[in-house]
Amino acid sequence: MSRPHSEPPVSHLVTQRVKFLRKGRPFSIRCLAGLGSSSAISKAVAQLVRRGELERVYRGIYMRPKYSQYTGRVHRPGPWDLVNLIARQNRWKLQIHGADAVRRFGLSTQMPVIPIYYTSGSSRSLFVGKAEIRLVHAAPMVMQCAGTKVGMTISALFYLGKGGTTPECVAVIKKALSPEDLSKIVACRMPKWMRAALETT
């Protein structure tokens, strides 16, 4: 009588799953949830970190190391990739910060020293190694159409404010939008001054 096949250990399942993950791209430990108990998965991941097959990027977030062929150093994920993953994990919305939105529309050349994003969650600073990423809580109006060109427009106008939203600035922003984007932004909730600025240019 043949013995039934035993299930492979969780450590083996985790190792096999990790092998298919893209190097240099952060992932949440939650994506391994179906492979076993949380404690068994945590132990398996910790073992992979000790072996150098995984690197801990942030609490609950790891990546397969990707080394530069020129410097030999590990490629770090960009702040947006990382903070976007953390936000999804915590069910926050993320919106490009107004200062960055204004720069992307070509209305400023200033680069923020610390990456900053608007969020539907609470304001906080995240530290990845020694690098800081700031999340600033913003009102639902600012968080509309997050991650789209329309959302970037709202963020830029909000940042410029009533006094800084000149006809010249609005003309530059509107020129970068498609007719579909313009239709969407008209349907968004916004203060009277912002709507007036969009309609008078």
Domain membership of residue 3 (yes or no) is no
Domain membership of residue 69 (yes or no) is no
Per-residue model confidence as pLDDT tens digits over 68-95:
777 777 777 778 888 888 888 888 999 9
Shared domain check, 93 and 137? yes
Q: Give the per-residue pLDDT at 137.
A: 96
Residue bearing tokens 């108990």: 37
Shared domain check, 171 and 86? yes
Shared domain check, 87 and 35? no
Per-residue model confidence as pLDDT tens digits over 37-50:
999 999 999 999 99
Shared domain check, 131 and 86? yes
Q: What is the CATH number of the domain that holds 33?
A: 1.10.10
Domain membership of residue 70 (yes or no) is no
Q: Give the per-residue pLDDT at 88.
A: 86
For the CA atoms of 120, 123, 126, 132, the dihedral, rounded to the nearest 10 degrees, stands at 120
Residue range of the domain that includes 59? 10-63
Residue at a domain's end among 39, 63, 87: 63
Average pLDDT over residues 104-133: 89
Residue 201 has pLDDT above 70, yes or no: no
Shared domain check, 152 and 102? yes
Shared domain check, 85 and 49? no
Mean pLDDT lowest for which of 59-63, 73-77, 115-119? 73-77
Give start and end residues of each alpha helix (H) in 51-78.
Answer: none
Per-residue model confidence as pLDDT tens digits over 138-197:
999 999 999 899 999 999 999 999 999 999 999 999 999 999 999 999 999 999 999 999
Shared domain check, 176 and 120? yes
Domain membership of residue 25 (yes or no) is yes
Nearest CA-CA partner of 32 in 57, 56, 48, 15: 15
Q: Give the per-residue pLDDT at 170.
A: 94
Q: Do 43 and 11 touch, CB atoms closer than 8 A?
A: yes
| Structure tokens belonging to residue 72 | 């030999």
Shared domain check, 106 and 48? no
Shared domain check, 168 and 98? yes
Shared domain check, 169 and 134? yes
Shared domain check, 83 and 58? no
Per-residue model confidence as pLDDT tens digits over 5-26:
556 799 999 999 999 998 988 9
Total number of domains in the chain? 2
Residue 1 pLDDT grade (very low, low, confident, very high; cuts 50, 70, 90): very low
Using CB atoms within 10 Å of the CB of residue 90, give its burial: 0 to 12 exposed, 13 to 18 middle, 19+ buried.
exposed
Nearest CA-CA partner of 60 in 80, 94, 88: 88
Residue 99 has pLDDT above 90, yes or no: yes
| pTM greater than 0.85 | no
Domain membership of residue 158 (yes or no) is yes
| Structure tokens belonging to residue 76 | 């770090």
